[in-house]
Amino acid sequence: MLLVSVVTGCAVPRSGTAPVSGRALPSPTAPARDSLHIAVVYPAVTDVIQSHDSAFLFGAVRGGRGVEPTTLTVDGHAVPVLPNGGWIAWLPVPDDTVAQFRLVARQGGSSDSAVTLFTARVAPQFRPAPGRAAWIDTTSFTPAGTLALPLEEGIPLSVHASPGATVRLLLPWGSSVPLVPDTLAPELPGAVRAFVIDTAPRRHVPVAGRYVGWLPAAALCADGRTACATLVVTVGGDTAMARWPLDVHVVDMTFPTVVVLDDDTAHTGTTDSLSAGRAVPHGTYNWFFPTGTVAVESGRWNDQVRLRLSRATVAWVNEAEVVPLPPGTPPPGGVVSSVRLASGPKSVTLRVPLPARLPYQITERERSLTVRLYGGASDINWMQYGESGGATGTDPLVTRMTYAQPAGDEVTITLELARRVWGYRARFDGRDLLLEVRRPPPLDREHPLRGRTVVLDPGHPPLGARGPTGLWEPVATLAVAFKAKTLLERAGAIVFLTRTDSTSIELYPRTHFAELRDADVLVSIHANALPDGVNPFTNGGTSVYYFQPRSTRLARELDRALVTEFRVRDLGIGRGDYALVRPTWMPAALTEGLFIMLPEQEAVLASEDGQWRYARGVVRGIENFLRERAREP
Ligand SMILES: [Zn+2]
């Protein structure tokens, strides 16, 4: 699956996450002469500011003579400059597609000064044509593109057009559907912005111009064989019309298309062999289907395919990972038969014989794991707790096994554990599903790090955020990781780094590295950045992310320790959909100790002392997590 994450932050090159860049940004090095010089690191020439009210600019003032402090103004507003030259400004954005800023730097009482006219690009916004009463925001058609759905379903429509209009969608067969003012959603988009604590209201799509409607699924604009739909907006005597850019194909569920998932159809050999399933197209990862999983296709939206896992559940996956089986292939399903546990030195494995490689989901709770098998019907006569022949008897880790049939086509099997979950992994073996439950490592209560294997992941490259003076995130994270390794080894831990030089390493090889070494704990070290339009002065701080339930405590201990070291605002912990915290085999967390885009915090990350503080926070967080787990009876 794609191993990029979907949460805002430095680890995520999501569009609009401004200071993250894979390109080499112009480094704000001083010119050869020592005259005063203003460098702007963000936005770079190729960046387009995605916000329309305010934006941040940051960079460094370099050069100059003497030791007098440097002052900087941007459009007349004073901007503090650190001794190392770093600065950041929070500025209004003009209502235009270009924004010009006048930066003036001066040094002390001397006559040395620098003036820079900096031009940034701003993402264009829709503007109605002047003088027209009726208009349609042609960038607002939702949904747009190509859609495939079964006949009995419908499509929610929304569009932005002139307020107070009569709006209808003309269908090619002569009828039309009305669109009505959206009165149910007073504020849009209205969603909480994760880890942004601004209380200032966000810009909203004006409610007065938002229309919604319902289109029953029927072939529309498909393959050039059917005509398209036209939106008609009427205000008084003025009418605006536009083709709704949507093709609809009808999916035949009476003879469904059966597909097999393959995470690596391009045969790169470098993937994790899991296809991510999402509750909404392009949404947060909620299922992890191994290559070979078979399911029924029930819809498409552009590059996303909807799978029907059971009568009650659908999941969206990437089209590139879906391979159709020959027409006539029956939908997967059938009987799930008796299960058995097998004990090993570091794990105990549940074997579930299946009729096919059914889609499944594993739910972790503190002391249990539940496998939900979609499309299965239980005929589990035996749930055997030991090896065939009783060679190893009853495994002490699994206290109880149960199964249930919550729906006609869903089976759940639950393992209740004597210990809190440390990790697990699942895979297909032929048609059988194997769920391997990891035994918790032996922990020394006095010296919990002694003998433990810790994998540290210095975040990036590729990508990585830049600070005002040009400090690059991967440089800082590697320095912190080396220092943390020293401290961990001093405490008796066995430490591996996923990266020990500036070589670019993708995300999956990093988590695979940790799993191959049976890491007891994995911590990925980062420095944060904000997306466009978020005030950096009110939103900076320390935050730590996890994905698996067992990692919550690890994230909490890391956050607590880092806040103690840095004494910056505590943004708290969060569940984040990051590749480095998704591994199931060990507790894993990702630290965003400081914001590299803030001059003061960049200076801390650049200093030996600051890197030792970050390292101490990481080490203490891991140690406190292990100490707490060591107390478990
Ligand atoms: Zn990062």
List, as one string, the DSSP characters of 41-58: EES-TT-EE--SSEEEEE
- The closest of 560, 613, 555, 606 to 580, measured between CA atoms, is 555
| pLDDT, position 385 | 83
CA distance 612 to 615: 5
Ramachandran quadrant class, 464 (left: phi over 0; alpha: psi -120 to 50; beta: rest):
left
Residue 374 predicted with pLDDT over 60:
yes
| pLDDT, position 537 | 85
CA of 279 to the centre of ligand 1 (A): 26
The neighbouring-strand residues paired with 602 are none
CA of 146 to the centre of ligand 1 (A): 34
CA of 475 to the centre of ligand 1 (A): 11
CA distance 580 to 523: 8
Q: Which of 4-13, 48-57, 326-335 has the lowest mean pLDDT?
A: 4-13
User: Where residue 206 falls among pLDDT bands split at 50, 70, 90?
Assistant: low
599-609: string of b/e by CB count within 10 Å (b at 16+)?
bbbbbbbbeee
435 φ, ψ (degrees, to nearest 5): -115, 115
Report yes or no: 480 and 614 within 8 Å, Cβ to Cβ. Answer: yes
CA of 526 to the centre of ligand 1 (A): 4
Beta strands in 134-201 (DSSP E): 145-150, 154-160, 166-170, 176-181
- The closest of 264, 8, 289, 245 to 138, measured between CA atoms, is 245
Residue 89 predicted with pLDDT over 60:
yes
Q: Which of 12-26, 307-321, 343-357, 377-391 has the lowest mean pLDDT?
A: 12-26
CA of 528 to the centre of ligand 1 (A): 6
Where does residue 545 rank: exposed (0-12), middle (13-18), buried (19+ CB within 10 A)?
Answer: buried
- The closest of 4, 47, 10, 9 to 25, measured between CA atoms, is 47
Residue 51 predicted with pLDDT over 70:
yes
Nearest-5° Cα angle at 624, 9 to 417: 95
- How long a stretch of residues is the chain? 633
What is the rounded average pLDDT of the residues 548-573? 97
Residue 592 predicted with pLDDT over 70:
yes
What is the rounded average pLDDT of the residues 11-20? 38
CA distance 208 to 475: 49
CA of 21 to the centre of ligand 1 (A): 11
CA of 436 to the centre of ligand 1 (A): 31
CA of 459 to the centre of ligand 1 (A): 5
Structure tokens at 145: 């593109």
Order across the sheet with 339-343: list the strands.
383-384, 339-343, 347-352, 432-438, 424-429
CA of 71 to the centre of ligand 1 (A): 31
What distance, in Å, lies between the first and last C-alpha atoms of the chain?
Answer: 38
Residue 36 predicted with pLDDT over 50:
yes
| pLDDT, position 391 | 53
Q: Kindly report, residue by residue over 460-489, the tens digit of the pLDDT.
A: 999 999 999 999 999 999 999 999 999 999
Order across the sheet with 521-528: list the strands.
494-497, 453-458, 521-528, 588-595, 542-546, 570-575
The neighbouring-strand residues paired with 312 are none
Q: Which of 80-89, 268-277, 327-336 has the lowest mean pLDDT?
A: 268-277
User: Where residue 307 falls among pLDDT bands split at 50, 70, 90?
Assistant: very high
Structure tokens at 137: 């925001």
514 φ, ψ (degrees, to nearest 5): -65, -40
| pLDDT, position 610 | 98
CA of 576 to the centre of ligand 1 (A): 13
| pLDDT, position 270 | 78
CA distance 14 to 474: 18
What is the rounded average pLDDT of the residues 64-79? 84
User: Where residue 10 falls among pLDDT bands split at 50, 70, 90?
Assistant: low
The neighbouring-strand residues paired with 71 are 106
What is the rounded average pLDDT of the residues 122-139? 89
CA of 463 to the centre of ligand 1 (A): 8
CA of 577 to the centre of ligand 1 (A): 13
| pLDDT, position 243 | 94
What is the rounded average pLDDT of the residues 308-317? 96
CA of 524 to the centre of ligand 1 (A): 9
Residue 34 predicted with pLDDT over 90:
no
CA of 91 to the centre of ligand 1 (A): 25
CA of 22 to the centre of ligand 1 (A): 12
CA of 364 to the centre of ligand 1 (A): 27
Cα torsion for 195, 201, 207, 211, to the nearest 10°? -20
CA of 458 to the centre of ligand 1 (A): 9
CA distance 87 to 69: 13
Checking DSSP bridges between strand 383-384 and strand 339-343, what pairing results, if any? Answer: parallel
CA of 12 to the centre of ligand 1 (A): 7
What is the rounded average pLDDT of the residues 119-138? 90
Percent of the chain topping pLDDT 70: 89
CA of 11 to the centre of ligand 1 (A): 4
User: Where residue 367 falls among pLDDT bands split at 50, 70, 90?
Assistant: very high
| pLDDT, position 151 | 92
| pLDDT, position 153 | 93
Report yes or no: 368 and 397 within 8 Å, Cβ to Cβ. Answer: no
CA of 591 to the centre of ligand 1 (A): 9
Average pLDDT over the chain reads 89
| pLDDT, position 67 | 64
Question: Which is higher by pLDDT, 216 or 3?
Answer: 216
What is the rounded average pLDDT of the residues 21-39? 57
Residue 53 predicted with pLDDT over 70:
yes
| pLDDT, position 440 | 96
Question: Which is higher by pLDDT, 7 or 201?
Answer: 201
Report yes or no: 383 and 414 within 8 Å, Cβ to Cβ. Answer: no
Residue 149 predicted with pLDDT over 50:
yes
What is the rounded average pLDDT of the residues 196-218? 70
| pLDDT, position 129 | 82
What the chain holds in terms of domains, given with CATH numbers, is 37-122 (2.60.40.10), 127-182+208-252 (2.60.40.10), 257-324 (2.30.30), 347-438 (2.60.40.3500), 453-630 (3.40.630.40)
Question: Which is higher by pLDDT, 417 or 21?
Answer: 417
CA of 119 to the centre of ligand 1 (A): 27
Q: Which of 134-138, 219-223, 317-321, 407-411 has the lowest mean pLDDT?
A: 219-223
Percent of the chain topping pLDDT 90: 75
User: Where residue 5 falls among pLDDT bands split at 50, 70, 90?
Assistant: very low
| pLDDT, position 379 | 87
What is the rounded average pLDDT of the residues 493-509? 96
| pLDDT, position 632 | 85
| pLDDT, position 269 | 78
Residue 611 predicted with pLDDT over 50:
yes
Residue 587 predicted with pLDDT over 70:
yes
User: Where residue 7 falls among pLDDT bands split at 50, 70, 90?
Assistant: very low
| pLDDT, position 392 | 60
Which residues neighbour 64 within 8 Å (Cβ) at sequence distance 6 or greater? 34, 35, 36, 70, 107, 110, 112
Residue 505 predicted with pLDDT over 90:
yes
| pLDDT, position 476 | 98
CA of 573 to the centre of ligand 1 (A): 16
Tokens 């609009």 label which residue? 16
CA of 93 to the centre of ligand 1 (A): 27
Question: Which is higher by pLDDT, 72 or 532?
Answer: 72
| pLDDT, position 109 | 67
Tokens 């880092």 label which residue? 562
The neighbouring-strand residues paired with 404 are 412
Cβ neighbours around 553 below 10 Å, total: 18
What is the rounded average pLDDT of the residues 384-405? 80
Which residues neighbour 237 within 8 Å (Cβ) at sequence distance 6 or greater? 133
CA of 466 to the centre of ligand 1 (A): 10
CA of 202 to the centre of ligand 1 (A): 26
Report yes or no: 599 and 72 within 8 Å, Cβ to Cβ. Answer: no
User: Where residue 110 falls among pLDDT bands split at 50, 70, 90?
Assistant: low
